[in-house]
Amino acid sequence: MTLVKINPDLQKERDSCTFNTEELTNFFDAGDKYTRKRRELENKIFSIKELKDEIPDEYLSHKEKYENALRKAVLLLKAMKKIGYSRNFEDVHKSSFRESVHTGIFKDGSPFMLQYSMFIPTLQGMADEEQKRRWLNRAMNFEIIGTYAQTELGHGTFIRGLETQAIYNEKTEEFILHSPTLTAYKWWPGGLAHTANYCIVMAQLIIKGKNHGMQPFIVQIRDEETHMPLPGIKVGEIGPKLTFSGVNNGFLGFEHVRIPRENMLMKYNQDGTFKSNPNSKLTYGTMVYVRVTIVFGAATQLARAVTIAVRYSAVRRQSRPKPNEPEPQILDYATQQHKLFIGIATSHAYTLLAYWLWDIYTSFKKDLESGNLDRLPELHSLACVLKVVSSKDCTRLVEQCRMSCGGHGFMMSSSLPQIYGLATAACTYEGENTVSLVKALDQATKGKPLSPTMAYLGERSVTTKWENSVDGIVKSFQKVSIGKLRAAVSSLKQYERSGLSPEDAWNKSSVQLISAAEAHGRAVVMSVYKSETDKYASTVSAGLKTVLYQLVELYAIYMVLQKMGDMLLYGNLTEADVTVLQRRYEELLELLRPNAVGLVDAFDFRDEVLSSTLGSYDGFAYERLMEEAMKSPLNAEPVNQSFEKYMKPLMKGKL
C-alpha cells in the first residue's frame, strides 16, 4: 500500500496553523544546527532495511523479542560506527536528549542500555587510571559488555540493607563475593541476563570482620570466548515485565566467587581507608544527571502520546450534535481538548524544566570541581522532587491521551500502551516516588533554608489577595507550598508533643509531609515554566510567542482548578475567581484549537519514532490499522490449527 497523500482533515489543520512550527522545533533541539544534525542521522539510520521489523515485536515470543533486540542493537552499533557517530559520555550537549534513533529502533528497550547509561559512566567516575586503562577502552569499543548491579531481590533503595558481601582475604589479596541468601541475589540490572560478560557489583566491603559499607567491584561473569557463566556465578533472566522486553533484565548470585583486589574500583579509595562512601559524593552528580534525563524523558513520552492523540482526534469523526451537519472531528469537542491540550503544555513545561535543571547542573559541576559543595543537597532534593512530579504528571497524561483515542488507543499498533509502560516505569526506577519525596524532604531540611529555589519558603506575607494573572498564580503555588509545609510540620510537632518518638511522629505525619514536598515541586515547576518561557519567548516571532503564552496560561489555570482545594485553603482563591478562571480556561481551549496539530507537528517525531497507526504524519489511521493487522501471523492462514484439534470435536459433540 502506498500512502503518499495527506488526509485532508490533517492538511486543513496544517494550513490554518498561525505560527512557524520549525521555529519551535529548533528550540526543542537547542538550535537549528542540531535539528539538521538530528534529521541527518535519522535519515541515515531509518533507511537501513535490516533495522526494520517485518513482523512487529508484539507478535513475537518473549525469547524472540530478546533475540531481535540484540540483533538490532549490534547492527545499530555497526551502522553508527560507519556513520562516524559516537556517544560522548563526558560532555553531553542538551540536544543529545532529543536523540530519537534508539526509540525508533527499540520500541521496548535495548540490551546494551546499561552499557551506555551505567557501566561506562561508572568506570569513568569511579575507576582509577590503571583501572580505566584495563577496562574503559575495551568497554567503549564493545570488546566487553557490562552492566551495573545494585538492587537485590529483597532490597531496593535502602543501601545499608543490601546483603551481597565482598570479604577481603589478606593472604591471597582477593575479595570473596558471596550472596548469603536468596534475597541477596542481584535483580533487575539491564543486560545482565544473557548479554553482559562484565558487571559492576555493589557489595558490602568486609575487612577483618568489619563492614566498610557499599563499594563497587568489577566482576567478570561470563567467559569471553564461550559466554558461559563462570564458576560460582548464578545468572539468568527475571522474566517478562510490563515493558522493556528488549532490555534483558537479569539476576545474579555469587557462591564464594574470588576476584583480585585490583577489581575494587579505587578512585575514591586511594587512601586505603575505605571511609569515603562513594554514594555520598560523586554519585550525587550521576544521580542528578539521571534525574534530568528522567524529567526530559517524561516530557518526551508525553509529547509522543499527545502527538498521536491530537492527530487521531483531527481525523476521527464522531456523533452529530447539529442535525444537518456531518460528524465533527473529535478535536472539536471541548472535553477532548480538555484532555489533550494540557498534555502539550505539560510537555513544554517539563522540557523547559529539564533544560533549566541541566544548566544548573553543568554550572554546579564546575563548582564541584573547585571543591564547592554548598548547593549539592538543594540540587539533589530538587532533582528528586522534579523526578517525582514529572513522572507522575506525564504518566497520568499519557494515559489520558491513550484513553482519548477510545478503543483504538488500546491497540498495541497505536503504540500508546507501550508509551504508557515506558512513562510509568519512571515512577518506579531510580527510587520509587514516595521514597524519592522522603529523600527530598530529608535533604531539603538539611540544606540551607534560604537556598535559591527554596527562598520563597521563608516569605512571611502570605495574606496577599488572589491574582488571576500567571504571575499571580506562580505566587499562589508558592503560598500553597508554604501553607502545606506549615500544616504538616505543625501536625508533626503535635504528634511529638503527644508523646510519640520522632520516628513515629514522622511516620504519622508522612502523608502530609509527602504532599507538602510535592507542592514544593509544583511551585518550582510553575515558576520555572513561566520564567523560562519569558526568557525564550523574547527571542521568537510574534506568532509563536502568542501560542507559547497561551500554553503557559492554560497550564497555570488547569493546575489551579486541579489543586483548587489547596488554592482555596492557602492561596486566597475565591468562588468568584473560580468562575472567571473556568471561563478563561474554556476560552483558551478555543484559542489553542487551530494550532493543536501545528504544536504537535513541532515536536518533530518521525513516523518511525512514533511508530503509531493512529498518529502517522499523513493521518491515514484506518488504513494503517488494517495494514498492521494484516502483519499478524494469525492472519497468514484462514483457519488456525486449533479448529481441527479442539473446536471441531467440541462442535460435533465428540469431546
Contact 3, 618 (CB under 8 A): yes
Q: Distance between CA atoms of 456 and 450, rounded to whole angstroms? A: 8
Contact 268, 126 (CB under 8 A): yes
Q: Which is nearer to a second copy, 449 or 594 (CB)?
A: 594
Q: Which is nearer to a second copy, 239 or 272 (CB)?
A: 239
Q: Distance between CA atoms of 176 and 183, rounded to whole angstroms? A: 18
- To the question of whether residue 151 is assigned a binding role by annotation, the answer is yes
* CB of 341 vs a second copy, minimal distance in Å: 11
Site membership for a second copy, residue 422 (CB under 8 A) = no
Q: Distance between CA atoms of 7 and 292, rounded to whole angstroms? A: 37
Backbone angles phi, psi at 166, to 5 degrees: -125, 100
Q: Which is nearer to a second copy, 260 or 649 (CB)?
A: 649
Instruction: Output 36-39 pairs: Cβ under 8 A, ≥24 positions apart.
Output: 37/95, 38/95, 38/98, 38/99, 38/100
Three cell numbers written together for 450: 534560604
Q: Which is nearer to a second copy, 172 or 501 (CB)?
A: 501
Residue from 80, 136, 206, 412 that binds a second copy (CB under 8 A)? 412
* CB of 620 vs a second copy, minimal distance in Å: 10
Q: Which is nearer to a second copy, 277 or 510 (CB)?
A: 510
Residue from 5, 137, 452, 643 that binds a second copy (CB under 8 A)? 643
| Contact code string over 183-222 relative to a second copy, x by CB under 8 A | x-x-xx----xxx---------------------------
Which residue stretch of 126-134, 290-298, 411-419, 535-543 sits at the interface with a second copy (rule: CB under 8 A)?
411-419
Residues numbered 516-545 forming contacts with a second copy, rule: CB under 8 A: none
Residues numbered 300-339 forming contacts with a second copy, rule: CB under 8 A: 316-322, 327, 332-336, 338-339
Backbone angles phi, psi at 17, to 5 degrees: -65, 135
* CB of 196 vs a second copy, minimal distance in Å: 10
Q: What element of type H or E holds 123?
A: helix 120-126
Three cell numbers written together for 380: 539533589
Which residue stretch of 213-221, 444-452, 523-531, 638-646 sits at the interface with a second copy (rule: CB under 8 A)?
638-646
Chain Cα centroid distance, residue 473:
27
* CB of 553 vs a second copy, minimal distance in Å: 16
Q: Which is nearer to a second copy, 363 or 579 (CB)?
A: 579
Site membership for a second copy, residue 182 (CB under 8 A) = yes
Q: Count CB-CB contacts under 10 A for residue 122.
A: 24
Type of residue found at 138: R
Residues numbered 382-401 forming contacts with a second copy, rule: CB under 8 A: 399
* CB of 256 vs a second copy, minimal distance in Å: 20
Q: Which is nearer to a second copy, 369 or 503 (CB)?
A: 503
Q: Which is nearer to a second copy, 196 or 352 (CB)?
A: 196
- Exposed, middle or buried: residue 548 (CB in 10 Å: 0-12, 13-18, 19+)? buried
Contact 193, 246 (CB under 8 A): no
Among 13, 152, 378, 430, the active-site one is 430
User: Any idea what DSSP says for residue 229?
Assistant: B
Q: Compute and round to an integer the Cα radius of gyration of the chain.
A: 27
Residues numbered 51-80 forming contacts with a second copy, rule: CB under 8 A: 56, 58-64, 66-67, 70-71, 74-75, 77-78
* CB of 417 vs a second copy, minimal distance in Å: 4
| Contact code string over 218-257 relative to a second copy, x by CB under 8 A | ------x-xxxx------xxxxxxxx-------x------
* CB of 642 vs a second copy, minimal distance in Å: 4
| Contact code string over 423-462 relative to a second copy, x by CB under 8 A | -xx-xxx--xxx---x------------------------
Contact 557, 473 (CB under 8 A): yes
Q: Distance between CA atoms of 554 and 585, rounded to whole angstroms? A: 6
Residues numbered 479-518 forming contacts with a second copy, rule: CB under 8 A: 487, 491, 501, 503, 506-512, 514
| Contact code string over 134-153 relative to a second copy, x by CB under 8 A | -------xxxxx-----x-x
Q: Which is nearer to a second copy, 34 or 59 (CB)?
A: 59
Residues numbered 617-636 forming contacts with a second copy, rule: CB under 8 A: 622-623, 625-626, 628-635
- To the question of whether residue 190 is assigned a binding role by annotation, the answer is yes
Tell me how far CA of residue 117 lies from CA of 8, 111, 168, 360, in angstroms: 43, 12, 29, 21
Q: What element of type H or E holds 401?
A: helix 376-404
Size of the site for a second copy (CB under 8 A): 142
* CB of 406 vs a second copy, minimal distance in Å: 5
Q: What is the DSSP string of 413-482?
A: GGSHHHHHHHHHHTTTSSS-HHHHHHHHHHHHHHS-TT-GGGGGGG-----PPP--SHHHHHHHHHHHHH
627 carries an active-site annotation? no
Tell me how far CA of residue 144 lies from CA of 40, 215, 218, 403, 564, in angstroms: 30, 22, 12, 43, 55
* CB of 42 vs a second copy, minimal distance in Å: 22
**Residues in binding site:** 151, 190
**Residues in binding site for FAD:** 151, 190
**Which residues form the catalytic set?**
430
